[in-house]
């Protein structure tokens, strides 16, 4: 059984409590806000890792990533080898007026060329200026914070464990080969 008007009384109590609290105002342009360590601001491009695989552009639900490239022929590494061709990045741009900051492009990049940068001050007066080219994306890359340290109690990644096992096996084989080489030949 509820008392008539109890909901109104509860609402007024909340209003009165809120009115008596001191308000906190951030003086934004003068004082920078304290952001979380891995804040999603804009997307930074580490151009050296980009192989122009186009996965980011294909997976983007907003189609806001523009990539242009051309192929170059790379001479053979060894004499008698064959020439190779590789993609060279000509243009990498992101239209932040279309981007919904979902991070799919960063997740699907197999070569770690895209990262979240905490930069958030990139407003423009003209919406056409929100398409940022690779030079600006490269600048934002250097503001990306380092990843958090690994948990010391976590188990070793399987790739590292396999590499360590292979290195130990190779070292044991070398040691055995050296021992056989230094042993004097026995009389037959």
Q: Which residues touch 86 (CB under 8 Å, ≥6 apart)?
A: 71, 72, 74
H/E element holding 145? none
Whether pLDDT at 28 is above 80 = yes
- Of all residues in the chain, the percent with pLDDT exceeding 90 is 52
Cβ-contact 105, 34 below 8 angstroms = no
**What confidence category does residue 1 fall into, taking pLDDT thresholds of 50, 70 and 90?**
low
On the CB side of 63, CA atoms within 13 Å amount to: 0
**What confidence category does residue 102 fall into, taking pLDDT thresholds of 50, 70 and 90?**
very high
**Res 47: pLDDT:** 93
Rounded to the nearest angstrom, the gap between the alpha carbon of residue 118 and the centroid of all alpha carbons in its chain is 11
**What confidence category does residue 91 fall into, taking pLDDT thresholds of 50, 70 and 90?**
very high
- Of all residues in the chain, the percent with pLDDT exceeding 70 is 97
């Amino acid at each position: 059984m509820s008392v008539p008007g109890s909901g109104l009384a509860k609402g007024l109590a909340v209003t009165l409590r809120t009115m008596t609290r001191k308000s906190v105002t951030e003086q934004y342009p003068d004082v920078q806000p304290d952001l979380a360590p891995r804040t999603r601001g804009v997307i930074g491009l580490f151009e050296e890792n980009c192989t122009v695989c186009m996965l980011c552009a294909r997976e983007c639900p907003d189609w806001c990533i523009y990539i242009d490239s051309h192929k170059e022929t790379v001479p053979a590494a060894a004499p008698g080898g064959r020439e190779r061709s590789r993609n060279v990045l000509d243009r990498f741009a992101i239209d932040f007026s279309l981007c919904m900051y979902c991070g799919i492009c960063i997740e699907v990049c197999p070569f770690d060329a895209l990262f979240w940068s905490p930069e958030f001050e990139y407003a423009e007066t003209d919406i056409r200026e929100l398409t940022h080219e690779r030079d600006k994306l490269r600048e934002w890359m250097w503001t990306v914070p380092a990843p958090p340290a690994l948990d010391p109690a976590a188990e070793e990644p399987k790739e590292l464990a396999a590499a360590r096992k292979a290195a130990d096996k190779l070292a044991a084989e070398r040691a055995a080969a050296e021992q056989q080489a230094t042993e004097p030949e026995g009389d037959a």
